[in-house]
Amino acid sequence: MLKPISLILVILFSCSLADAEKKRPPNVPEFPEITARGRMLAEYLAAAARAKEAVKSMAPARGSVTHYIAQKGDSGWVVASGRYNDKGDQFLVVYEATQGADQEFTVKQYDPPREDTGFYFRAARALDTAFGDFQGEKRPYVSAVLPAGSNQMYVYILPAQTSAGVYLLGGDVRYLVSSDGSKIVEKRQLHKAILEFRAGTNPPGITLAAGSHSHVLSDVPEDTDVAYVLTRRPSVPEYIGGNGPIYKILEDGTILRTE
C-alpha cells in the first residue's frame, strides 16, 4: 500500500534531505537495472499510446485489432497491432506504426495481414497469460512487454491515465513470463493502492520541489516508480521511503540513496 504525505511534510522532508545530502559525498547511482527497466517502460507506454492514436485514425475494422505490441529497434519504436489467426498459432499484423525523428508515428497497413510467429506472437500470448492472472479494479489498464533474460519477457500491467494532468501510481504488477508466452515464471506486486497526482493543485505561491510516497511491499524503488517520475509533469524528483533507506529518483530516472 502506498501512503501519501501532505504537501507541507513533503516540503519539510525535502529540505531536510537536501541539507543532509550536502554533508554527504556525491551519491553513486543505485539499482541501475531498475532505472534501465523504468526508462524502457516509460518509452514503451508513450510509444504505444501515440501509435494507438495513429492507428485509430485509420478506422480499423471492428475485431481486426485486439493487441498493440511495441518493440524498440535501432531507429526507434515499432508498434504492431493486430490479432491471432483462426488457429491461434500466428499473430496477424494488420497495422505497423513506425516512430519517426519527430516522435510521431507513420502507419502502414498490411492487406492481407502479415503473419508472425516470432516476438509479436509470443508477446501477445504473454499479455494474455498475465491478464488471465491479474485481478485489478474496475478501471482501464495499460500493459507493456519488455525483454528479459533467457528470452523471457516482463509483462507490466498498470492503471491507465484517463484524465489530462492526472498521473497514477500504484495498483501495478510485473510478471516474468516464459519465452513462449504461455507460463508465468514469477509475479511481483509492485504497489497495491493507487495514488493520484494532480498537476497544478499546489497552494498559491508554493512550487512543488519533489513528491514522495512510502513502500510497504518492498524497501527499494520499483520499475514503475521510475516510469512515473519520467512521465509526470511538472518534472520533479520523487522520494521513496519504507522500512529501509530513503531513495530519491531524479528527473532522468537515476536512483540515489539519501541516507
pLDDT of 155 higher than 80 = yes
Higher pLDDT, residue 10 or 211: 211
pLDDT at 26: 61
pLDDT at 101: 86
Query: Do strands 211-214 and 238-241 pair parallel, antiparallel, or not at all (unpaired)?
Result: parallel
pLDDT of 31 higher than 60 = yes
> Hunting for cell 478501471 — which residue is that?
139
pLDDT of 19 higher than 60 = no
Q: Can you name the residues that pair with 28 across neighbouring β-strands?
A: none
**Nearest-angstrom CA–CA distance, 126 and 196:** 28
User: Stretch 104-115: mean pLDDT, rounded?
Assistant: 97
Contact, 172 vs 158, CB < 8 A? yes
Contact, 172 vs 157, CB < 8 A? yes
Residue-wise pLDDT for 76-106, tens only, equals 999 999 999 999 999 999 999 999 988 899 9
Q: Tell how far CA 66 is from the center of its chain.
A: 20
Band of residue 25 on the pLDDT scale cut at 50, 70, 90? low
Picking from 67, 172, 179, 58, the residue whose alpha carbon sits closest to that of residue 107 is 58
User: Stretch 225-249: mean pLDDT, rounded?
Assistant: 95
pLDDT at 2: 52
Q: Can you name the residues that pair with 69 across neighbouring β-strands?
A: 80
pLDDT at 177: 98
User: Stretch 216-241: mean pLDDT, rounded?
Assistant: 96
**Mean pLDDT for all residues in the chain:** 90
pLDDT at 18: 47
Whole-structure pTM value: 0.88
Band of residue 203 on the pLDDT scale cut at 50, 70, 90? confident
pLDDT of 73 higher than 70 = yes
pLDDT of 127 higher than 60 = yes
pLDDT of 14 higher than 80 = no
User: Stretch 219-234: mean pLDDT, rounded?
Assistant: 97
Q: Tell how far CA 25 is from the center of its chain.
A: 32
Residue-wise pLDDT for 131-150, tens only, equals 999 999 999 999 999 999 99
